[in-house]
Structure 1
Amino acid sequence: MRVNLTPVDGVHVTTLMDNSSDALLPDEGLVRRWGLNGTSGPLPVVPAEFAAGGTSYDFLRAEHGFSALIEVRVDGRTRRVLFDTGVTTDGLIGNLDRLGIAPDTFEAIVFSHGHFDHVMGLHGLARRLGRTGLPVLLHPDFWLQRRIVAPDRTLELPSPSRSAIEGAGFAVVEEQQPSFLLDGMLLVTGEVDRTTPFETGMPPAHQAFRDGSWQPDQAVHDDQAVVLHVRDRGLVVLTGCGHAGIVNIVRYARRLTGVDRIHAVLGGFHLRDGPIVAETVTALAAEAPAVIVPAHCTSWKAQQALAAGLPDAFRPNGVGSRFEL
Structure 2
Amino acid sequence: MDNSSDALLPDEGLVRRWGLSGSAGPLPVLPAEFALEKQSFDFLRAEHGFSAMIEVNGRRVLFDTGVTADGLIGNLDRLGIAPDSFEAIVFSHGHFDHVMGLNGLAERVGRANLPVLLHPDFWLRRRIVSPDRTLELPTPSRSAIEGAGFAVVEDRQPSFLLDGMLLVTGEVDRTTPFETGMPPAHQALRDGVWQPDQVVHDDQAVVLHVRDRGLVVLTGCGHSGIVNIVRYAQRLTGVDRIHAILGGLHLRDGAIVPATVEALAAEAPGVLVPAHCTSWKAQQALAAGLPGAFRPNAVGSRFEL
Whether the TM-score (by the shorter chain) exceeds 0.5 is yes
In 2, the alpha carbon distance for the partners of 1:87 and 1:51 equals 32
**Corresponding residue for residue 245 of structure 1:** 225
Structure 2 distance, partners of 1:166, 1:49, is 43
Q: Which residue of 2 aligns with 1:95?
A: 75
Amino acid of the structure 2 residue aligned with 1:41? G
- Quote the residue 2:54 is aligned against: 70
TM-score (normalizing by structure 1) = 0.94
Question: Are 1:36 and 2:16 counterparts?
Answer: no
Amino acid at match of 2:53: L
Partner SS state of residue 273, structure 1:
coil
CA distance in 2, matches of 1:161, 1:283: 37
The alignment-based identity, stated in percent, is 87
TM superposition score normalised by structure 2: 1.00
Letter in 1 for 2:14: L
Residues 191-241 of structure 1, C-alpha deviation per residue, up to 9 Å, x if partnerless?
A: 000000000000000000001100000000000000000111110000000
What does 1:180-199 align with in structure 2 at a 5 Å threshold? Answer: 180-199=160-179
Partner amino acid for 2:8?
Answer: L
Where structure 1 has 5 or more consecutive residues not aligned to the other structure, the ranges are 1-16
Say whether residues 1:203 and 2:183 are aligned partners: yes
1: CA distance between counterparts of 2:73 and 2:84?
A: 12
Secondary structure at the residue paired with 1:81?
A: strand
Match of 2:62 in 1: 82
Q: Is the counterpart of residue 217 in structure 1 residue 207 in structure 2?
A: no
Deviations 1:85-124 (A, max 9, x none): 0000000000000000001110000000000000000000
Distance in structure 1 (CA, Å) of the matches to 2:105 and 2:82: 11
Within-5 A mapping of 1:147-296: 147-296=127-276
Q: Could you report, residue by residue, the CA deviation over 1:27-52 in whole angstroms, capped at 9, with x for unpaired residues?
A: 00000000000000000011111111
Higher relative contact order (CA 8 A, sep 6+): 1
- For residues 33 and 145 of structure 2, the distance between their equivalents in structure 1, rounded to whole angstroms, comes to 39
Query: What per-residue deviation string (whole Å, max 9, x for no partner) do you get for residues 15-34 of structure 1?
Result: xx000000000000000000
Deviations 1:146-165 (A, max 9, x none): 00000000000000000000
CA RMSD between the two structures: 0.4
Q: How far apart are the structure 2 equivalents of 1:132 and 1:276?
A: 42
Q: State the alpha-carbon separation in 1 of the partners of residues 25 and 205 from structure 2.
A: 28
1:19 equivalent to 2:33? Answer no
1:51 aligned residue: 35
Please state whether the residue corresponding to 2:283 is helix, strand or coil.
helix
Q: Work out whether 1:305 is the aligned partner of 2:270.
A: no
Partner of 1:321: 301
**In 1, Cα distance between the equivalents of 2:212 and 2:60?**
22
Q: 1:293: how far off?
A: 0.2
Quick one: distance in 2 between partners of 1:115 and 1:197? Answer: 24
Structure 2: gaps of 5 or more residues: none
Query: What is the CA–CA distance in structure 1 between the aligned matches of 2:83 and 2:237, rounded to whole Å?
Result: 30
1:109 and 2:68 equivalent? no
CA distance in 2: counterparts of 1:202 and 1:248, whole angstroms: 14
